């Protein structure tokens, strides 16, 4: 086996790939009869969320880093969250204003993804802050409670807990998204200023270009 294939099939990458594979299973689970749909979808979502922790943990412990893993890991997270939010909206488990924090979370993922793609092109990495990790944890907990919804025991107000947690996750999303955007814009402005060619000096009587 080549070194490239060995890197591709390292345990952290396999865990990340398993998260991607579980996404269509999560979507399919929502179409099962209830309450089986709720609990099956929750089990799949929880398993996928756990791999999000262990792929990073194993990568750090074994020092198994790869460009493929750095590309796929955040993408897998965003796909998982987006799939869960879309399906929750489809089965009417994001009622009323609760759709707003879900939209905020999705929009933040688009903005940060675009920002990371640009910064990667100029070889600048944006480290994940501790607050961003808390945001991810609260977000996953919120979505888990919303997925189980009214299938939970009557003593556990899963829907209400999920809705409150989703608002908290959206607030953390705004704070961390602003921090990423501020840091990224600084690099963008600096790169633009350094890379822009100097404007030619105007000669007396030379007409200024239109536009």
* Domains, the chain, ordered by start: 8-192 (1.20.120.1760)
What percent of the chain lies above the pLDDT cut of 90? 45
**Distance between start and end Cα atoms, the chain:** 58
Is residue 206 helix, strand or coil? coil
What is the four-CA torsion angle of 167, 171, 177, 179, rounded to 10 degrees?
-160
pTM of the model: 0.79
- Give the residue carrying structure tokens 């959206």: 170
Confidence check: pLDDT of 107 > 60: yes
Q: What number of helices (H) and strands (E) belong to the chain?
A: 7, 0
Question: What is the pLDDT averaged over residues 1-14?
Answer: 63
Question: What is the pLDDT averaged over residues 68-90?
Answer: 87
Q: What's the CA gap between 102 and 106, in Å, rounded?
A: 6
Of the pLDDT bands very low, low, confident and very high (cuts 50, 70, 90), residue 192 is low
pLDDT value, residue 177: 83
Confidence check: pLDDT of 186 > 90: no
Question: What is the pLDDT averaged over residues 177-190?
Answer: 74
Does residue 151 or residue 60 have the better pLDDT?
151
Confidence check: pLDDT of 210 > 70: no
Q: What's the CA gap between 38 and 158, in Å, rounded?
A: 11
pLDDT value, residue 124: 61
pLDDT value, residue 63: 77
Nearest to 110 by CA among 166, 183, 181, 48: 181
146, 94 in Cβ contact below 8 A?
yes
């Amino acid at each position: 086996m080549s070194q490239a294939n060995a890197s591709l099939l390292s345990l952290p990458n396999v865990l990340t790939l398993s998260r991607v594979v579980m996404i269509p299973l999560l979507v399919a689970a929502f179409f099962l009869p209830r309450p089986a749909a709720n609990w099956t979808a929750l089990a799949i979502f929880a398993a996928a969320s756990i791999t999000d922790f262990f792929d990073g943990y194993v990568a750090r412990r074994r020092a198994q880093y790869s460009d493929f893993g750095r590309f796929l890991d955040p993408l897998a997270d965003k796909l998982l969250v987006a799939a869960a939010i879309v399906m929750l909206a489809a089965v009417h488990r994001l009622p009323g204003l609760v759709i707003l924090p879900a939209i905020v979370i999705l929009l933040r993922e688009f903005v940060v993804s675009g920002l990371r793609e640009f910064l990667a092109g100029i070889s600048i990495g944006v480290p994940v802050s501790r607050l961003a990790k808390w945001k991810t944890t609260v977000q996953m907990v919120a979505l888990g409670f919303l997925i189980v919804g009214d299938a939970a025991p009557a003593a556990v107000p899963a829907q209400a807990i999920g809705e409150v947690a989703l608002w908290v996750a959206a607030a953390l999303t705004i704070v961390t998204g602003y921090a990423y955007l501020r840091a990224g814009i600084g690099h963008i402005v600096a790169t633009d200023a350094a890379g822009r060619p100097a404007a030619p000096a105007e000669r007396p009587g030379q007409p200024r270009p239109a536009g």
